């Protein structure tokens, strides 16, 4: 009798497990009667979209030899084509990484457009001369020969160190200001991917931390430190950027000099505000004065408001 009871219970349990596996709950639950996207949410995400456009075009041109105007022209919303984009001389391993990044950025732009609507693509400067000036500013003098990100994989990945991290900072910074549940879900997804891209770039460089970048005589770690210091200076809000090798006092729990992930005292991602980000990507140190990657300034309400101010 006990055997029969045990057998019956086990059969019942197996049927319950079967039912559970056949009818899994996969759909996210959202608040009832809540607003998915607030007007103010759009302003923040549209600000970040400027950086998504920069990443999409840079990765596309470098890996495919053409950009959104060929791959997904509808996403540009009629914005001017970038200046100076070209195919980089990448080895197969690096090329595959950048092609993946490029297509992920197309997905980001499509997601933003479908949920928030889209801004017009801003004019972007992807010329080697633009990167040359940025690296000159990071080192405080003109590098000889001029730094060209399209030369080879190492030069290119160093140039990539400049871009996704700032977008990640922006998503962390805007998160507390978002109200709509769809806005929060979108930004969480965008932040996750941006953080993974940045981690891949940093790991790529960390594996080569002691490699000397020919012919400059500086290691990869030196380059990342210089770029991070420049961004901290331009941002004007303290240390929110760290190279791949740091003093122990900046490492995780003050115990490591390895710095594959750039994070604060609590190992949380750094956040930046729109003015900080503009000061950095314009490289003017002034959110009201456009330059470098955005010769005519970034688009959207937040960025354009700064251009109106004296």
Residue 33's pLDDT is: 63
Residue 241's pLDDT is: 95
Residue 5's pLDDT is: 58
Apex 165 CA angle, 159 and 169, nearest 5: 150
Euclidean distance between CA atoms 42 and 29, whole angstroms: 22
Residue 231's pLDDT is: 97
Please give the structure tokens belonging to residue 294: 């955005």
pLDDT by position in tens, the chain (length 310): 554 555 555 555 555 554 455 567 677 666 766 889 999 999 999 999 999 999 999 999 999 999 999 999 999 999 999 999 999 999 999 999 999 999 999 999 999 999 999 999 999 999 999 999 999 999 999 999 999 999 999 999 999 999 999 999 999 999 999 999 999 999 999 999 999 999 999 999 999 999 999 999 999 999 999 999 999 999 999 999 999 999 999 999 999 999 999 999 999 999 999 999 999 999 999 999 999 999 999 999 999 999 986 5
Residue 34's pLDDT is: 82
- pTM of model > 0.85: yes
- Torsion-angle region of 80 (φ positive above 0: left; ψ -120 to 50: alpha; else: beta): beta
Residue 222's pLDDT is: 98
Characterize 250-276 residue by residue with b for buried, 16 or more Cβ atoms within 10 angstroms of its Cβ, and e for exposed: bbbeeeeeebebbeeeeeebbbbbbbb
What is the number of other CB atoms lying within 10 angstroms of the CB of residue 21? 8
Residue 134's pLDDT is: 97
Of 263, 276, 265, nearest to 235 by C-alpha is: 276
Euclidean distance between CA atoms 257 and 289, whole angstroms: 36
Residue 24's pLDDT is: 72
């Amino acid at each position: 009798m006990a055997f029969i009871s045990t057998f019956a219970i086990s059969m019942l349990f197996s049927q319950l497990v079967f039912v559970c596996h056949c009818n899994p709950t996969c759909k996210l639950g959202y608040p009832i009667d809540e607003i998915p996207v607030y007007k103010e949410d759009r302003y923040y995400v549209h600000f970040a979209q400027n950086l998504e456009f920069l990443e999409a075009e840079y990765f596309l041109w470098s890996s495919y030899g053409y950009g959104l105007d060929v791959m997904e022209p509808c996403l540009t919303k009629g914005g001017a084509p970038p200046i100076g984009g070209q195919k980089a001389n990448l080895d197969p391993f690096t090329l595959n990484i950048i092609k993946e990044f490029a297509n992920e950025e197309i997905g980001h732009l499509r997601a933003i457009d479908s949920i928030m609507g889209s801004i017009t693509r801003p004019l972007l400067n992807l010329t080697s001369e633009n990167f040359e000036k940025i690296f000159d500013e990071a080192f405080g003098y003109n590098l000889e020969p001029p730094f060209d990100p399209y030369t080879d994989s190492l030069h290119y990945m160093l140039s990539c160190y400049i871009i996704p991290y700032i977008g990640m900072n922006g998503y962390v910074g805007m998160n507390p200001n978002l109200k709509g549940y769809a806005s929060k879900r979108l930004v969480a997804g965008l932040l996750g991917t941006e953080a993974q891209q940045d981690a891949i770039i940093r790991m790529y460089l960390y594996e080569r931390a002691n490699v000397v970048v020919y012919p400059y005589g500086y290691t990869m770690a030196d380059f990342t430190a210089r770029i991070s210091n420049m961004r901290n200076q331009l941002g004007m809000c303290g240390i929110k950027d760290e190279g791949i090798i740091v003093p122990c006092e900046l490492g995780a729990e003050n115990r490591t000099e390895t710095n594959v992930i750039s994070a604060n005292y609590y190992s949380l991602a750094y956040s930046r505000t729109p003015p900080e980000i503009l000061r950095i990507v314009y490289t003017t140190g002034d959110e009201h004065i456009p330059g470098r990657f955005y010769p005519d300034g970034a688009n959207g309400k937040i960025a354009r408001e700064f251009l109106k101010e004296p």
